[in-house]
Amino acid sequence: QMRLVESGGGLVQPGGSLRLSCATSGTSLDYYAIGWFRQAPGKEREGVACISTDDGTTYYADSVKGRFAISRDNAKRAGYLQMDSLKPEDTAVYYCATDLFGTCAVLSTDQMNFWGQGTQVTVSS
């Protein structure tokens, strides 16, 4: 079993930045891809970014490409999502999730093994 806890959300003005963290405990993170998802009110949960287990391959949704950066630190058992140039449409609850032996070829909620409880990100002036 793995427990995931997100932090770093909050209220930020358009154009601002936030850095989300995903702290894990329990099973080692080494063999899990880390995915970040978000869900806005009335919308389905969507994949935002992913980083694989092996070579650190990353994937980004088109809507965040060039603005968000995903990273991981296996020694600290953590994942991160740096979000820059934030827009109001980025407002959502952000979740981290892990996928055993994941390659990030596909980022789908169905393939993830463990989930955090989410952290609210609000982009508003």
Q: Calculate the alpha carbon distances from 87 to 49, 54, 83, 91, 92 in Å.
A: 17, 32, 10, 8, 11
pLDDT in 10s for each residue of the chain, 125 residues: 999 999 999 999 999 999 999 999 999 999 999 999 999 999 999 999 999 987 679 999 999 999 999 999 999 999 999 999 999 999 999 999 999 988 888 889 999 999 999 999 999 99
Given this model, what pLDDT does residue 52 score?
Answer: 94
Given this model, what pLDDT does residue 103 score?
Answer: 85
